[in-house]
Amino acid sequence: MLDTTIAGSLPKPAWLAAPKALWAPWRLEGAALDEGKRDAVRLALRDQEEAGIDIVTDGEQTRRHFVWGFVEQLDGVDFSKMVTIGIRADRYKADVPTVTAPLRRRGPIHADEVRFLRGETRRPVKFTIPGPMTIADTIHDAHYGSRAKLGMALAALINEEARELAALGVDVIQLDEPAFNVYMDEVRDWGIAALDRAVKGLACKTAVHICYGYGIKANTDWKKTLGGEWRQYEQTFPLLAASRIGGVSLECANSRVPMSLIGLLGGKDVLVGAIDVASDRAETAAEVAAVIREAMKHVKASQIFPCTNCGMVPLDRELARAKLRALGAGAALVRRELA
């Protein structure tokens, strides 16, 4: 009951990549980089286990950015044709590669990482893959001619990959779809269909992470424009309730999302964000517990998974550790009340 997990990423050690940055370049190369990534995954697992996190991830230690880990392994994407575009409805600029031909997986993408992860912990593991709409929003298309077509092509490839990862022992596959909070009409028109295609026939549990982004300035500025109550989820949750997806990860800590909206998710699991990733102070266990108790007014405890609001990759490493410990301790507090 109230099993804890994290959205996905954790800060990387400074010897592996420049700290407190997205898209940070690696500080190692060749075999040393491979070994460094594995060591960083071990550390990420130990930090989660010691903090009492029940469903663990690899902290996304092996990828430079949550979208590129997948896209770099696709045929049909030309990384020599980089284009600067505005992503997430022009909230920030990114240099992205170009789709020039039909997309295909060159082969297994994350299988080696998952085999390693599975061998390093006895806890249930969650693995994250970017969702079809978010990839489509972070790439320049010169082939498909429509975001829906591109998204559905990506969904088929994500499904191939996810089936293989489930067969390797992944307990939860989570698709990351921050774009779902930006393009609500597209979510309705093709986003949910793409999500359903991506998780079709999977033998493991599934979830989708929808958020208001990392705690970086472009996002905190954007949030200021969203008004006193953030109701984006209100349009999306009833659609998700009718979808194949098993659970939804959202941000509830220090956000202006009315908690009652999680009641729109029907019988889905709810990964309740109880850790703010945009603050430079660690929550107390009592603060985490208060968010969980509030969520329990709208969803049964058996369907609540206390979680972080979003990925913690841009945070200070010690701060992220303290936040992990608060998450574990806060959930334990509420569990004791229920016992």
Does residue 61 contact residue 10 with C-beta atoms inside 8 Å? Answer: yes
113-132 residues in contact with Zn ion (CB under 5 A) are: none
Residue 82 phi, psi dihedral angles, 5° rounding: -85, 140
Length of the chain: 339
Question: Alpha-carbon distance 9 to 314, whole Å?
Answer: 9
12 versus 103: smaller Cβ distance to Zn ion: 12
99 versus 252: smaller Cβ distance to Zn ion: 252
Closest approach, Cβ 6 to Zn ion, in A, equals: 11
Q: What is the largest CA-CA distance in the chain?
A: 58
Site string for Zn ion, 260-299 (x = CB under 5 A): ----------------------------------------
Told to check if 211 binds Zn ion by CB under 5 A, we report yes
Told to check if 253 binds Zn ion by CB under 5 A, we report no
293-332 residues in contact with Zn ion (CB under 5 A) are: 310
Question: Alpha-carbon distance 317 to 323, whole Å?
Answer: 10
Closest approach, Cβ 261 to Zn ion, in A, equals: 17
Closest approach, Cβ 23 to Zn ion, in A, equals: 16
Closest approach, Cβ 66 to Zn ion, in A, equals: 9
2 versus 211: smaller Cβ distance to Zn ion: 211
227 Rama class: left (phi>0) / alpha (psi -120 to 50) / beta:
left
Closest approach, Cβ 208 to Zn ion, in A, equals: 11
103 versus 208: smaller Cβ distance to Zn ion: 208
Provide the token pair at 333.
Answer: 């507090």
314 versus 330: smaller Cβ distance to Zn ion: 314
Told to check if 250 binds Zn ion by CB under 5 A, we report no
Bridge partner list, 247: 269
Question: Alpha-carbon distance 309 to 95, whole Å?
Answer: 26
What are the angstrom distances between the C-alpha of 214 and each of 164, 205, 221, 310? 29, 25, 12, 6
55 versus 103: smaller Cβ distance to Zn ion: 55
Closest approach, Cβ 7 to Zn ion, in A, equals: 5
Residue 109 phi, psi dihedral angles, 5° rounding: -100, -50
Which of these, 4, 113, 11, lies nearest to 55 by C-alpha position?
Answer: 4
Q: Would you tell me which residues interact with Zn ion (CB under 5 A)?
A: 211, 310
